[in-house]
């Protein structure tokens, strides 16, 4: 059986005695894309921070291709893992090309120079994210969506075995939301990404991990995870789940004016798809 890209076992994280994440267990098969979903405050970003070692676990273990990540040096870790965070950082006095070139750093020695091959990798990454025309523009002058795409290009140049994305479609219009996730999926590497849009996650992820209040609520294929009952219980909304006409994964249609609380519908509300009294 091939080694999983990522194995997370009994992961817990506490701050000053307050539990943020508890008893997290999952595995990410090599080459697959795992979507991390859940309501605000569920622990998605916290879990990703544990995986890319921004915070130290209270307990548990994370294996990267069978190797414990804890003792890895920062350089060794960066050669295997690239991270695109939710908030775009500020890089003053740097061009888009220079930002993307930072992805080369983990693979360079102290005295290694910039090669023609490096330039080609940078150019290819910029082309993939649609920023070729912005190569010499100051990074701080890019739009929010363009900054996000530049950071994804930097991650591509880094050539990771595992790509971690925290809300990669933030600030992007619909076209680039789809294109960026399709691009990430096409790279053929292992990916874990937190995604707010459930339909986008359903369409493009091989599997989904649903977090609720810092614990795993469900894990499996989009069809296994995205059920009407679970969406009502975890997200507190009424929805109808059908099959997308193209990819046949769940397609979620939301209803408005209904207020399920902890699963059951609030008093006076109607089941999903059925109008309340007085509605046409």
Q: For residue range 157-171, list pLDDT tens digits in order.
A: 999 999 999 998 877
Residue 96 belongs to domain spanning: 6-226
**What is the number of domains present in the chain?**
2
The answer as to whether 1 is a domain residue is no
- Reported as a pLDDT band with limits 50, 70 and 90, residue 202 is very high
**Cβ contacts of 188 within 8 Å, gap of 6 or more:** 31
What pLDDT shows up at residue 260?
Answer: 54
Structural contact between residues 233 and 262, judged by C-beta atoms closer than 8 angstroms: yes
| Token pair listed for 179 | 């294109």
Is 255 found in the same domain as 145? no
Where is pLDDT greater, at 122 or 275? 122
- Reported as a pLDDT band with limits 50, 70 and 90, residue 1 is low
Is 254 found in the same domain as 116? no
pTM passes above 0.85: yes
Is 162 found in the same domain as 38? yes
Is 80 found in the same domain as 115? yes
Is 216 found in the same domain as 153? yes
Is 114 found in the same domain as 253? no
- Among 33, 7, 30, which Cα is nearest to 202's? 33
Is 91 found in the same domain as 169? yes
What CATH number is associated with residue 208? 3.40.50.300
- Reported as a pLDDT band with limits 50, 70 and 90, residue 276 is very low
Averaged pLDDT for residues 23-35: 97
Is 240 found in the same domain as 135? no
Is 179 found in the same domain as 61? yes
Is 238 found in the same domain as 153? no
What pLDDT shows up at residue 272?
Answer: 44
Is 211 found in the same domain as 271? no
| Token pair listed for 191 | 């990916």
Is 152 found in the same domain as 95? yes
């Amino acid at each position: 059986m091939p080694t999983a890209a990522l194995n997370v076992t009994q992961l817990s994280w506490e701050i000053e005695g307050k539990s943020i994440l508890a008893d997290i267990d999952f595995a990410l098969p090599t080459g697959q894309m795992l979507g991390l979903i859940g309501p605000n405050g569920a622990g998605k970003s916290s879990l990703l921070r544990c995986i890319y070692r921004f915070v130290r676990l209270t307990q548990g273990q994370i294996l990267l291709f069978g190797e414990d990540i804890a003792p890895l040096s920062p350089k060794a870790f960066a050669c295997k893992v690239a991270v695109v965070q939710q908030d775009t950082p500020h890089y003053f006095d740097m061009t888009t090309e220079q930002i993307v070139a930072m992805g080369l750093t983990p693979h360079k020695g102290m005295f290694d120079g910039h090669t023609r091959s490096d330039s080609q990798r940078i150019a290819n990454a910029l082309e993939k994210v649609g920023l070729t025309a912005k190569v010499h523009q100051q990074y701080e002058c890019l739009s929010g969506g363009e900054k996000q795409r530049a950071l994804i290009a930097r991650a591509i140049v880094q050539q990771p075995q595992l790509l971690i994305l925290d809300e990669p479609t933030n600030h992007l219009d619909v076209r680039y939301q789809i294109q960026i996730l399709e691009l990430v999926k096409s790279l053929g590497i292992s990916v874990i990404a937190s995604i707010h849009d459930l339909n986008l996650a359903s369409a493009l992820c091989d599997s989904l991990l649903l977090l609720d209040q810092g614990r795993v609520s469900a894990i499996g294929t989009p069809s296994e995870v995205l059920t009407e009952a679970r969406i009502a219980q975890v997200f507190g909304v009424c929805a109808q789940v059908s099959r997308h006409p193209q990819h046949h994964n769940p397609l979620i249609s939301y209803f408005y004016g209904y207020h399920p609380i902890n699963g059951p519908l609030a008093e006076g509300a109607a089941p999903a798809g059925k109008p309340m009294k007085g509605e046409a």
